[in-house]
Amino acid sequence: MEMKKKLMVGKSFVLSIFALCVFPFTHCNDDASKSYIWYYYNIDSLYSNEVYDSGDYIFFNVGVNHYKALDTQIDSMRSLYKDNHYNQVVYDDGAEVLVNHLDSIHVISDSDFDSVHLAGTLLDDLFYVNIHGYYDLLISNYGRDRECQLNYTKKISEFEYKDGHLVSGFVIKLPNNVNPIEKEHNLTITYYFTNLKPQILKYKVVFK
């Protein structure tokens, strides 16, 4: 099995939220492509990456160990999402996505946030997820039928099943204006993907 370690998301991604999709720029290769998405990867595992304070938000970055999808998986994905009639030049060597569907995310802490969010209870309504993906692009006929979104942000508690299709990057963030009653927290963020055991990531945060 060919393994490849890659940081799927980071500071550059989280700064580009809510960008509307635009038709691709011309690539140096003038050949038209039937498919917009060129690369598909299966997740092997996730790992905790840096905690980054942007001033407005605290970001909990995640890394992804992954390997290339089989040709049969790629054909199946292209058929399922109807990515077979793009017929234009693709920019930047083609998009890449995860085969695994992101089903849900949950966040808990070992300390109290407030009188409602006690230790061990879900904090999904406090934390947000930023996602970059291509599902909306494909179901809008590559943006030809309507404007579409590649990047979006929502509370984890509002995350829906449709949000987890064709994900390319993701990151969890917490507004910096929160003021937990307890300042030291060991956070557990659990990601649930199809065909993968739950991915449990740990982060330690000390609030001011």
pTM of this structure:
0.85
122 vs 202: CA distance, rounded Å: 15
Q: How many CA atoms lie within 13 A of 68 on its CB side?
A: 7
For residue 96, being part of any structural domain is answered with yes
pLDDT tens profile 83-141: 999 999 887 667 899 999 999 999 999 999 999 999 999 999 999 999 999 999 999 99
Q: Which long-range contacts (CB under 8 A, 24 or more apart) does 67-70 make?
A: 67/1, 67/2, 67/3, 67/4, 67/41, 67/42, 68/2, 68/4, 68/39, 68/40, 68/41, 68/42, 69/40, 69/41, 69/42, 69/99
181 vs 140: CA distance, rounded Å: 45
Say whether pLDDT at 182 is over 50: yes
For residue 76, being part of any structural domain is answered with yes
Task: Count up the domains in the chain and report the number.
Answer: 1
106 vs 156: CA distance, rounded Å: 7
For residue 188, being part of any structural domain is answered with no
For residue 111, being part of any structural domain is answered with no
83 vs 139: CA distance, rounded Å: 9
Residue 30 confidence (pLDDT): 63
For residue 117, being part of any structural domain is answered with no
For residue 202, being part of any structural domain is answered with no
Task: Name the nearest CA neighbour of 60 among 107, 116, 99, 113.
Answer: 107
Residue 94 confidence (pLDDT): 74
For residue 34, being part of any structural domain is answered with yes
Residue 26 confidence (pLDDT): 34
Say whether pLDDT at 9 is over 80: no
For residue 199, being part of any structural domain is answered with no
Domain limits for position 83: 4-22+30-100+127-180
pLDDT tens profile 14-60: 323 323 333 333 344 568 899 999 999 999 999 999 999 999 999 99
**What's the rounded mean pLDDT across residues 167-196?**
96
User: In sequence order, what are the residues at sequence separation of 6 or more whose Cβ sits closer than 8 angstroms to the Cβ of residue 105?
Assistant: 124, 129, 156, 159, 172, 189, 190, 191, 192
Q: Which residue has the higher pLDDT, 134 or 5?
A: 134
Say whether pLDDT at 154 is over 90: yes
